[in-house]
Amino acid sequence: MPYLYELPTTGAVSFSSFIHDNSGSWTISIANATTARANLRSVLKESKRTEDGEKDYLKIIKTTDDYLPQLRAIQNCPIILDGIAFSWRSTLSSHTFTSSPRVDFPTLFADLTFSLLTLGFALSNLAQTKVVALGQYELERHITDAERQKKDQELNFATTLLCKASGIFSYVSEKVIPDWEHEVEGVKMSRDLAPDVKKEVVDALAKMALADASQLSIRKLLTRSAYDSTLSPGPPLPRSHPSPALIAKLFLNAAALYTSARSLVKGSAKTHSSNSDDDVNPELRRHLADESVFCSAAAHKWLGVDAGEAERSGEAVGFLRWAVAELEGLSKDRKIDLKTGKSGKAARKDRLAEDLDGTKTFLRHYQNMNDSLHFLPVPSNADVQALVPTGRSAVQVKTYDPPTPTFGPFSVEGLRRQAEALEVQGQDGED
């Protein structure tokens, strides 16, 4: 399940208070930029007051998309900015949302960073709501092929949203934050107050979004076979089932992404202030930890199934025992009772219970096969670990392309005028 972000809020800004357009060329455009930002502020405040299931993430995405070309136009214009600063509330810190203070960040790069983060958060949240709405459709016994394919398309759409979010986070981490630091040397002092704008944390968000997308892509690969297995789960695999070795490699890559993201988040707290408010909130850290273990267990499960289908039953038992131990450890760590479901989030509990039951079913089958037919030695944990292959990517990042500024020298109109001026100069030279 994709991670669900708490969206930030921001203070009001009037660009005319900071920008001195002596020529008067962009007075109306600057006012339009202020209006676009006010619209973004308004939808974020509205979202804060709305229950999770009723938030309009599509509206937030559109409003942010409308503002970003205006912001880029102001960044590119040769106008005077006097002490401009932007107030944004951190939502990735260990503060609760209601008590986390707004922090003033200098320069236009601050607003660009938080606006892009907001866009990435909203895309991720829209993907999460789409997945929740779909439910476990592939396990519905009476679903038609047409209905399943339609929901497969919706699952693909959610995957694409997460790949776009990953691209935005990567752009912020690799381009915007370094440019911001280069422009203002003292920005690192402000960054200590919010993990949201630390390069390593945003890089972790990019990896997490891609890992979340990978899981949805894997699920899409398994929807047909999951439906075919509803009446008779476990071995033998239905003919519609994709290669277990491929599924294992895809899960291994997702697990590596979660692990890398978790390391970046941990490192961000060590390399900056030791203040607990500087740390990333526990829900995000828990998501990274849980999904890393879950994907690792899923990979080991499918490696075991692959070995079992190839009649390497001893190896199959070794991998499946490993997967069962990981899943049981995860449920114990999170205090999730797989029999009664009295605690923990419902979706996480259901998924863990289903995967643990399914993994145990495969384990019993291949254990019986090995004990009664093949009599192969079960490799040790160290030997099993040595058999783990390299992961494989299920999805790719959607590279973020910054929008064209709405006005100024790099807008469509500005470039047209520059081209006309060059053409006139060329004609004068010929004369």
> Per residue in 366-409, pLDDT tens?
999 999 999 999 999 999 999 999 999 999 999 999 999 998 87
Q: Which of 207, 404, 203, 349 is nearest to 292 (CA)?
A: 207
Return the structure tokens found at 395: 């999805």
Percent of the chain whose pLDDT exceeds 70: 86
- Identify whether the C-beta of residue 10 lies closer than 8 Å to the C-beta of residue 91: no
- Identify whether the C-beta of residue 124 lies closer than 8 Å to the C-beta of residue 2: yes
- Cβ neighbours around 9 below 10 Å, total: 17
**What residue type is assigned to position 243 of the chain?**
S
Sign of the CA dihedral running 132, 238, 147, 158: positive
Cα 48–Cα 91–Cα 289 angle in degrees, nearest 5? 120
| Cα→Cα distances 19→73, 151, 253, 339, Å | 13, 49, 48, 63
pLDDT at res. 350 = 75
What would the pLDDT profile of 214-263 be if each residue is shown by its tens digit?
999 999 999 999 998 887 777 889 999 999 999 999 999 999 999 999 99
Cα 173–Cα 8–Cα 208 angle in degrees, nearest 5? 45
Half-sphere exposure of 101 (CA within 13 A, CB side): 7
